[in-house]
Structure 1
Protein backbone atom coordinates (compact mmCIF):
# COMPACT_ATOMS: atom_id res chain seq x y z
CA UNK A 1 0.00 0.00 0.00
CA UNK A 2 1.31 3.44 -0.94
CA UNK A 3 1.70 6.08 1.75
CA UNK A 4 -0.89 8.86 1.58
CA UNK A 5 -0.05 12.28 0.22
CA UNK A 6 -0.29 15.23 2.62
CA UNK A 7 -2.46 18.25 1.77
CA UNK A 8 -2.44 21.52 3.68
CA UNK A 9 -5.13 24.13 3.04
CA UNK A 10 -6.10 27.28 4.85
CA UNK A 11 -5.00 30.85 5.27
CA UNK A 12 -2.82 33.31 7.12
CA UNK A 13 -4.13 36.78 8.02
CA UNK A 14 -1.26 39.25 7.94
CA UNK A 15 -1.63 42.39 10.08
CA UNK A 16 -1.51 45.63 8.10
CA UNK A 17 1.81 46.72 9.62
CA UNK A 18 3.52 43.52 8.40
CA UNK A 19 2.01 43.13 4.93
CA UNK A 20 4.87 44.79 3.06
CA UNK A 21 7.52 42.55 4.66
CA UNK A 22 5.46 39.40 4.13
CA UNK A 23 4.76 40.27 0.47
CA UNK A 24 8.49 40.87 -0.08
CA UNK A 25 9.50 37.53 1.49
CA UNK A 26 6.81 35.42 -0.16
CA UNK A 27 8.34 34.90 -3.66
CA UNK A 28 11.53 33.35 -2.23
CA UNK A 29 9.48 31.15 0.12
CA UNK A 30 7.39 29.90 -2.81
CA UNK A 31 10.44 29.25 -5.00
CA UNK A 32 12.31 27.35 -2.29
CA UNK A 33 9.27 25.26 -1.37
CA UNK A 34 8.42 24.32 -4.95
CA UNK A 35 12.02 23.12 -5.40
CA UNK A 36 11.84 20.76 -2.42
CA UNK A 37 11.82 17.01 -3.08
CA UNK A 38 8.29 15.70 -2.75
CA UNK A 39 6.48 19.02 -3.27
CA UNK A 40 3.71 18.42 -5.81
CA UNK A 41 2.12 21.85 -5.52
CA UNK A 42 2.50 24.95 -3.39
CA UNK A 43 0.36 28.05 -3.85
CA UNK A 44 0.03 31.12 -1.65
CA UNK A 45 -2.29 33.76 -3.09
CA UNK A 46 -3.81 36.97 -1.82
CA UNK A 47 -7.49 36.63 -1.05
CA UNK A 48 -9.51 38.73 -3.51
CA UNK A 49 -11.92 39.92 -0.79
CA UNK A 50 -10.17 39.96 2.60
CA UNK A 51 -7.26 42.41 2.87
CA UNK A 52 -4.09 40.84 4.22
CA UNK A 53 -5.32 37.26 3.88
CA UNK A 54 -3.21 34.80 1.96
CA UNK A 55 -4.85 31.52 0.95
CA UNK A 56 -2.49 28.56 1.17
CA UNK A 57 -2.64 25.22 -0.64
CA UNK A 58 0.14 22.64 -0.44
CA UNK A 59 0.46 19.03 -1.59
CA UNK A 60 3.38 16.74 -0.75
CA UNK A 61 3.98 13.17 -1.85
CA UNK A 62 4.12 11.86 1.74
CA UNK A 63 4.50 12.75 5.40
CA UNK A 64 8.31 12.61 5.21
CA UNK A 65 8.51 15.25 2.47
CA UNK A 66 5.92 17.41 4.25
CA UNK A 67 7.89 17.09 7.49
CA UNK A 68 11.10 18.08 5.69
CA UNK A 69 9.31 21.13 4.30
CA UNK A 70 8.07 22.11 7.75
CA UNK A 71 11.58 21.78 9.17
CA UNK A 72 13.14 23.85 6.39
CA UNK A 73 10.47 26.52 6.50
CA UNK A 74 10.65 26.86 10.29
CA UNK A 75 14.36 27.72 10.02
CA UNK A 76 13.97 30.14 7.08
CA UNK A 77 13.66 33.88 6.58
CA UNK A 78 9.96 33.26 5.97
CA UNK A 79 9.61 31.97 9.55
CA UNK A 80 11.30 35.10 10.86
CA UNK A 81 9.17 37.48 8.78
CA UNK A 82 5.91 35.72 9.72
CA UNK A 83 6.77 34.92 13.35
CA UNK A 84 3.76 35.22 15.62
CA UNK A 85 1.19 35.51 12.83
CA UNK A 86 -1.48 32.86 13.46
CA UNK A 87 -2.02 30.29 10.76
CA UNK A 88 -5.40 28.72 10.08
CA UNK A 89 -4.50 25.46 8.39
CA UNK A 90 -6.04 22.03 7.96
CA UNK A 91 -3.74 19.12 7.22
CA UNK A 92 -5.26 15.98 5.68
CA UNK A 93 -4.07 12.72 4.20
CA UNK A 94 -4.97 12.09 0.59
CA UNK A 95 -4.87 8.61 -0.94
CA UNK A 96 -1.92 8.31 -3.34
Structure 2
Protein backbone atom coordinates (compact mmCIF):
# COMPACT_ATOMS: atom_id res chain seq x y z
CA UNK A 1 0.00 0.00 0.00
CA UNK A 2 1.33 3.45 -0.88
CA UNK A 3 1.06 6.50 1.32
CA UNK A 4 1.59 10.11 0.36
CA UNK A 5 4.20 12.15 2.19
CA UNK A 6 4.80 15.90 1.98
CA UNK A 7 7.85 17.55 3.54
CA UNK A 8 9.33 21.00 3.29
CA UNK A 9 8.86 24.48 4.61
CA UNK A 10 7.02 27.77 4.33
CA UNK A 11 8.68 31.14 4.92
CA UNK A 12 6.69 33.85 6.71
CA UNK A 13 7.80 37.49 6.86
CA UNK A 14 7.89 39.05 10.34
CA UNK A 15 4.85 41.25 9.65
CA UNK A 16 2.67 38.20 8.97
CA UNK A 17 3.95 35.95 11.78
CA UNK A 18 1.24 36.90 14.33
CA UNK A 19 -1.59 36.00 11.93
CA UNK A 20 0.04 32.72 10.86
CA UNK A 21 0.72 31.70 14.45
CA UNK A 22 -2.87 32.54 15.43
CA UNK A 23 -4.34 30.41 12.61
CA UNK A 24 -1.95 27.47 12.92
CA UNK A 25 -3.58 25.56 15.80
CA UNK A 26 -6.96 25.39 14.02
CA UNK A 27 -5.31 24.33 10.76
CA UNK A 28 -3.43 21.52 12.51
CA UNK A 29 -6.53 20.34 14.41
CA UNK A 30 -8.72 20.32 11.30
CA UNK A 31 -6.11 18.47 9.27
CA UNK A 32 -5.43 15.84 11.91
CA UNK A 33 -9.19 15.16 12.06
CA UNK A 34 -9.38 14.46 8.32
CA UNK A 35 -9.97 10.86 7.21
CA UNK A 36 -6.66 9.32 6.13
CA UNK A 37 -4.39 11.79 7.92
CA UNK A 38 -1.63 9.74 9.53
CA UNK A 39 0.65 12.60 10.57
CA UNK A 40 0.55 16.36 10.27
CA UNK A 41 3.13 18.61 11.91
CA UNK A 42 3.93 22.26 11.32
CA UNK A 43 6.64 23.68 13.58
CA UNK A 44 8.63 26.88 13.70
CA UNK A 45 12.27 26.40 12.78
CA UNK A 46 14.34 27.67 15.71
CA UNK A 47 17.40 28.30 13.52
CA UNK A 48 15.66 30.17 10.70
CA UNK A 49 13.27 32.94 11.88
CA UNK A 50 9.94 32.90 10.09
CA UNK A 51 10.38 29.41 8.65
CA UNK A 52 7.80 26.74 9.40
CA UNK A 53 8.78 23.11 8.81
CA UNK A 54 5.96 20.95 7.41
CA UNK A 55 5.66 17.17 7.55
CA UNK A 56 2.53 15.36 6.42
CA UNK A 57 1.58 11.77 5.72
CA UNK A 58 -1.73 10.54 4.35
CA UNK A 59 -2.95 6.96 3.97
CA UNK A 60 -3.92 7.38 0.31
CA UNK A 61 -3.54 9.80 -2.56
CA UNK A 62 -7.29 10.47 -2.34
CA UNK A 63 -6.96 11.48 1.33
CA UNK A 64 -4.05 13.78 0.47
CA UNK A 65 -5.96 15.36 -2.40
CA UNK A 66 -9.02 15.87 -0.17
CA UNK A 67 -6.76 17.65 2.34
CA UNK A 68 -5.30 19.85 -0.38
CA UNK A 69 -8.81 20.72 -1.60
CA UNK A 70 -10.09 21.54 1.89
CA UNK A 71 -7.01 23.60 2.72
CA UNK A 72 -7.33 25.81 -0.35
CA UNK A 73 -10.83 26.81 0.78
CA UNK A 74 -9.96 27.38 4.44
CA UNK A 75 -9.06 30.41 6.54
CA UNK A 76 -5.49 29.03 6.56
CA UNK A 77 -5.31 29.58 2.80
CA UNK A 78 -6.28 33.22 3.27
CA UNK A 79 -3.75 33.80 6.08
CA UNK A 80 -0.90 32.16 4.15
CA UNK A 81 -1.77 33.36 0.64
CA UNK A 82 1.31 34.18 -1.40
CA UNK A 83 3.84 32.91 1.13
CA UNK A 84 6.81 31.07 -0.39
CA UNK A 85 6.68 27.31 0.08
CA UNK A 86 9.12 24.58 -0.84
CA UNK A 87 7.51 21.19 -0.58
CA UNK A 88 8.35 17.74 -1.86
CA UNK A 89 5.54 15.25 -2.32
CA UNK A 90 6.42 11.58 -2.56
CA UNK A 91 4.76 8.21 -2.56
CA UNK A 92 5.91 6.01 0.32
CA UNK A 93 5.39 2.27 0.33
CA UNK A 94 4.06 1.12 3.69
Question: Under TM normalisation by the shorter chain, which class is it?
Answer: over 0.9
> Size of the alignment, in residue pairs?
94
In structure 1, the gaps of 5 or more residues are none
In the alignment, what sits opposite 1:65? 63
Distance 1:89 1:40 in 2: 18
Compute the TM-score of the two structures, normalised by the length of structure 1. Answer: 0.96
The root-mean-square deviation of aligned C-alpha atoms, in Å, is: 0.5
In the alignment, what sits opposite 2:52? 54
In the alignment, what sits opposite 2:43? 45
Instruction: Write out the 4+ residue segments of structure 1 that deviate beyond 4 Å after TM superposition.
Output: none
**How far is the alpha carbon of 1:42 from its aligned partner?**
0.1
**How far is the alpha carbon of 1:40 from its aligned partner?**
0.1
In the alignment, what sits opposite 1:20? 18
Deviations, residues 46-72 of structure 1 (Å, cap 9, x unaligned): 001000000000000010000000000
